[in-house]
Amino acid sequence: MLSMDETEIEAARRAYAADIARMAEVEDPRIGQAFAAVPREAFLPPPPWTVIRMGAGTRTSDVASLYDNVLVAIAPERGINNGEPSLHAMWMDAVHPQPGETVIHVGAGTGYYTAILARLVGPGGRIEAFEYESDLAAQAVANLQDYPNVTVHSASAFGRVLPKADVVYVNAGVLAPDVEWLRALNPGGRLIFPWQPHKGWGPATLVTRETQGFSARPLMTVGFISCSGTSERISVRHLPTEADLAAVRSIWIRSERAPGASAVAVYKDVWFSSEELD
């Protein structure tokens, strides 16, 4: 590791946090502060690290290289990385976690963004972090031992009743959101997830629990590794087009409302609609 003292590392982390907040155009200053407070290297394997920029990986032991808008491999043989910081900053700004709220983090990896979420909800809030890969979950437990408001579950967050939450934050691509994620949302609760009905890509989708139902809107197109531990399937004949994906305005639980003419994509337990909530 190239020699940097703690003062230099902290300065690099503050500059990185400011750059990330600027790139993501975040409105909540607490997000930049949280990125500045959490050491990224503490949530990664030992150096040398594989830093990925524009699809190309570079091996390095320079801690300063981590403080850039780059991916860093954490399980390269499985295609798992630490995630793009500016994307996560944008998502956090969209779901706006508040002090005292409860967040369910699906696909916590080794815990870096879990730690940032934990700072945003503060000591009065809670993070319930789920990680299906048992070795990554074990690393997350160790990495997050100084965060008493975080509980790590070495388990899938699919197909299980979840605690009530104000935010469900999903870091793995899914064909459809699990119905229990919707049911877990408190009134005004927000769900963000990479909806990937097409292999490897699709819109990050923000869902909000309103009085009338669940509003939904696509954000940006993203590509995420698929969520492990899921069983959802959809026929190729029913894949939504890009125009369909952009038209989504609400999502419904099928047991509460049957799919109608506005249906964009229909799954076993949920369906997407182009209809605005009343």
What are 44-99's pLDDT values in tens digits? Answer: 999 999 999 988 899 999 999 999 999 999 998 888 999 999 999 999 999 999 99
| Cα separations in angstroms, 62 against 67, 74, 136, 264 | 10, 16, 23, 47
Predicted local distance difference test score (pLDDT) of residue 225:
53
pTM of the predicted model as reported, rounded to 2 decimal places: 0.93
**Banded pLDDT at 224 (limits 50, 70, 90):** low
Q: How far apart are CA 23 and CA 165, in angstroms?
A: 29
Q: How far apart are CA 196 and CA 185, in angstroms?
A: 21
Q: How far apart are CA 51 and CA 211, in angstroms?
A: 44
Mean local confidence (pLDDT), 123-132: 97
Beta partners for residue 222, in sequence order: 202
Percent with pLDDT over 70 in the chain: 92
Q: Is the dihedral of CA 138, 184, 208, 267 positive or negative?
A: positive
Contact status, residue 116 vs residue 92, Cβ threshold 8 Å: yes
Is 3.40.50.1370 the CATH classification of the domain at 75-273? no
Residues spanned by CATH 3.40.50.150 within the chain? 75-273
pLDDT: which is higher, 242 or 120? 120
**Banded pLDDT at 222 (limits 50, 70, 90):** low
Exposure string of 266-276, with b = 16+ CB inside 10 Å and e = fewer, is bbebbbbbbbe
Predicted local distance difference test score (pLDDT) of residue 240:
83
Predicted local distance difference test score (pLDDT) of residue 241:
84
Contact status, residue 271 vs residue 263, Cβ threshold 8 Å: yes
- Residue whose C-alpha is closest to residue 53's, from 31, 96, 85: 85
Cα 170 → chain centroid? 4
**Banded pLDDT at 228 (limits 50, 70, 90):** very low
Residues 176-194 have pLDDT tens digits of 899 999 999 999 999 999 9
